[in-house]
Amino acid sequence: MWESETEYVRGREFGNGFFSSTKHGFNTDGFQLKGQSWYVATDIPSDLLIQVGDINFHLHKYPLLSRSGKMNRLIYDSKDPDLKRIVFEDLPGGSEAFELAAKFCYGLAVDLTAGNISGLRCAAEYLEMTEDLEEGNLVFKTEAFLSYVVLSSWRDSIVVLKSCEKLSPWAENLQIARRCSESIAWKACANPKGIKWAYTGKPSNVSSPKWNDLKDSSPSRNQHVPPDWWFEDVSILRIDHFLRVITAIKVKGMRFELIGAAIMHYAAKWLPCLIQDGELQADEMSISSHSNSWKDGFHMIIPGTKDDNLSIQAKDQRTIVESLISIVPPQKDSVSCGFLLRLLRAANMLKVAPALVTELEKRVGMQLEQATLADLLIPNYNKSETSYDVDLVQRLLEHFLVQEQTDSSSSSRRSFSDKQMYEGTQRGNNLNPKSRVARLVDSYLTEVSRDRNLLMTKFQVLAEALPESARACDDGLYRAIDSYLKAHPTLSEHERKRLCRVMDCQKLSVDACIHAAQNERLPLRVVVQVLFSEQVKISNTLANAITLKDPAETRYQPLITNRKTLLEGTPQSFQEGWVTAKKDINTLKFELDGVKSKHVELQKEMENLQRQFEKMSKPKPTSAWSSGWKKLGKLTKMTTVENHGIGPQISTTIEHVRKPPRRWRNSIS
């Protein structure tokens, strides 16, 4: 469709790239340049001096009056018949455009190219060289060349749009920039399989394409055209024209991933420090070599904070940053999170408009789980006490939590089948944004905790911003707390206890528990909690081990083998900690066995004592004689106690008792 790279239209309509006026009143061989002045090579002396910038043109009134309405007004309205000098201070295109217009007035052949057509079109409009004075005047000629030649060519459209940078506001009023932007957008959105025109591609070590040196290298039929073929060509445009092209491409419906990639490519060219090392130093605030000073361009896309202390180059870069922020696609993964963070760093340093900074912070919060620690360490440019902008990270974390809550609420509205598919995809891809952000925040806290000016309140608020479920292990948080305690040795006991409350001792690994038990910077209460939690873990492990010892012990043998295999694959520090824990478990087992054996011995001794007591409590067997003497003793005691009131019965009983012994004695004798 657009196969105008061969410029066949020029040969058909414009005399092979040249056109001239057939009506002229002077026979001339052309123009001659002598120093800073142009002269017409003719025998008739000039009667008019026109000064354009530093260049003087010695011309004649009649050729100019016949084709320029502005010259008619200036000469006839001046009411000075001897007017011989006119100064054009604001003529668009400068002396180069006026030279071509003057040659056209004299009927000389003019070579129209993509490099001079925009300036000549604006100069023709300025000089009012319309059809009212002569048919086929310069306005008509240049407008036809723009419509039929330039807009049908990819390369010429970009060259003309690039040349419009010095023609504001004439190029805007004449719709040259808009028409070129639309043409570029249509061609960029075309199917790559049908591209037949030449494009720059991705040259190595070239800051910007040199259009005069490019050769026609249209892709062949078998050549594969990448989807980002237009990035390099469009990136040579100034930011306001690039913004116009990207806006037109968005309207045409291009994929947001390609638009984001084009924006990052443009930033890499115009803000190299932003992409290469992420650092924008004060002495590196120069735009790349192909950039120009914006004296006539579209300066501020969105107004930012005025600051007279910034240099002109820094203000230009602020304009670029503001414009890039405003055209980033709203989709989540259109650009990388690292690019957004580096753009945010540049925005804070260049004092970009607060509304744009807030919008950029929200964009970073949408994909904070993709960030790295190096990108998150943004210096504090507000002359605060801390070296890094901790408040900024706190705001980014808040935006992330809001986005996560919004995503969770929207996912809860899905149907059951869709939700199951979504959760299955999440589990399959091992996506857990909160856990990634938690590790990132722990690393960030460890890094910024070395700053002695960091308040404990800010540290604690940032550590407690995430929910408890976000951290499966608190080793990173413990490392950050220990680093903060080491950098702030003057904290009181109460402050140290309050700081350690953000950590859950039950979520510490074996290595962290061993380190915490020997850490003198921790409060004693925290050390006791760590030891207690570790004791509980050991008890649970011991209980699980006892539970596993059942008659079907062989069934669990593969599980034990797998544990040994996993243990061999763990780091050395973890293995050492596990060996220490096993020694403690074995010691406890040995002590428990000793207690059990002592308990058994005590039970045996108790049984022996019980038997001896029972033996001592039983009555001994006695003979009939001893029982008789016992009865006699009892009767004697009764006689002595109850000798009153018994009367003659007592004496009778005594005599009866005494008789048997006498008989017994007699029987013995």
Q: Are 196 and 219 in contact (CB under 8 A)?
A: yes
Task: Tell me, yes or no, whether 399 lies in a domain.
Answer: yes
79 and 123 within one domain:
yes
Q: Which of 171-180, 441-450, 495-504 has the lowest mean pLDDT?
A: 495-504
* pLDDT for position 411: 59
| Percent of the chain whose predicted confidence (pLDDT) is above 90 | 35
CA pair distance 506, 464, nearest whole angstrom: 17
CA pair distance 113, 111, nearest whole angstrom: 6
371 and 318 within one domain:
no
463 and 358 within one domain:
no
* pLDDT for position 570: 44
Task: Tell me, yes or no, whether 524 lies in a domain.
Answer: yes
* pLDDT for position 327: 93
CA pair distance 22, 14, nearest whole angstrom: 13
Beta-carbon count within 10 A of 77 CB: 8
Domain hosting 45: range is: 30-152
Q: Which of 175-189, 283-297, 396-410 has the lowest mean pLDDT?
A: 283-297
**More confidently predicted of 383 and 150:** 150
Strand, helix or coil for residue 92: coil
148 and 68 within one domain:
yes
* pLDDT for position 203: 41
Q: Are 39 and 49 in contact (CB under 8 A)?
A: no
Task: Tell me, yes or no, whether 536 lies in a domain.
Answer: yes
* pLDDT for position 529: 78
Question: Model confidence over 88-143: pLDDT tens digits?
Answer: 988 999 999 999 999 999 888 889 999 999 999 999 999 999 998 888 899 999 99
Question: Identity (one letter) of the amino acid at 180?
Answer: C
Per-position DSSP letters for 346-409, written without gaps between them: HHHHTT--HHHHHHHHHHHHHTGGG--HHHH--B--S--SSSB-HHHHHHHHHHHHHHHHHHHH
CA pair distance 314, 310, nearest whole angstrom: 6
Question: Cα dihedral sign for 641, 643, 649, 650?
Answer: positive
90 and 45 within one domain:
yes
Task: Tell me, yes or no, whether 175 lies in a domain.
Answer: no
Q: Is 21 exposed, middle or buried (0-12, 13-18, 19+ CB in 10 A)?
A: buried
* pLDDT for position 448: 93
CA pair distance 559, 514, nearest whole angstrom: 27
* pLDDT for position 215: 40
Q: Band of the pLDDT at 620, cuts 50, 70, 90?
A: low
527 and 484 within one domain:
no
CA pair distance 112, 529, nearest whole angstrom: 85
Question: Identity (one letter) of the amino acid at 532?
Answer: F
Final residue of a domain: which of 122, 152, 182?
A: 152
Final residue of a domain: which of 107, 137, 152?
A: 152
**Which of 78, 74, 65, 75 shows the shortest CA–CA distance to 133?**
65
3-state helix, strand, coil in the chain (%, to 5): 60, 5, 35
- The tokens of 505 are what? 């001792």
Task: Tell me, yes or no, whether 227 lies in a domain.
Answer: no
Beta-carbon count within 10 A of 258 CB: 18
Q: How many residues does the chain have?
A: 669
574 and 485 within one domain:
no
493 and 390 within one domain:
yes
CA pair distance 125, 119, nearest whole angstrom: 10
**More confidently predicted of 281 and 395:** 395
Strands 48-52 and 55-59: antiparallel
Final residue of a domain: which of 152, 171, 204?
A: 152
How many domains are there within the chain? 4
Average pLDDT of the chain, as a whole number: 75
CA pair distance 657, 660, nearest whole angstrom: 6
Task: Tell me, yes or no, whether 668 lies in a domain.
Answer: no
For helices 94-105 and 138-145, give the axis angle rounded to 10 degrees: 120
524 and 450 within one domain:
no
CB-side neighbour CA atoms (13 Å) of 86: 25
* pLDDT for position 146: 94
- The tokens of 199 are what? 């494009």
371 and 493 within one domain:
yes
* pLDDT for position 605: 79
385 and 347 within one domain:
no
Q: What is the CATH number of the domain that holds 113?
A: 3.30.710.10
**Is pLDDT of 647 > 60?**
no
* pLDDT for position 28: 63
Task: Tell me, yes or no, whether 656 lies in a domain.
Answer: no
**pTM of the predicted model as reported, rounded to 2 decimal places:** 0.69
CA pair distance 308, 315, nearest whole angstrom: 9
375 and 500 within one domain:
yes
Question: Model confidence over 487-521: pLDDT tens digits?
Answer: 999 999 899 989 988 888 888 888 888 888 888 88
Question: Identity (one letter) of the amino acid at 664?
Answer: W
Question: Model confidence over 26-52: pLDDT tens digits?
Answer: 556 678 888 888 888 877 888 888 999
CA pair distance 179, 381, nearest whole angstrom: 42
CA distances from 89 to 79, 173, 308 (A): 21, 19, 29
Task: Tell me, yes or no, whether 66 lies in a domain.
Answer: yes
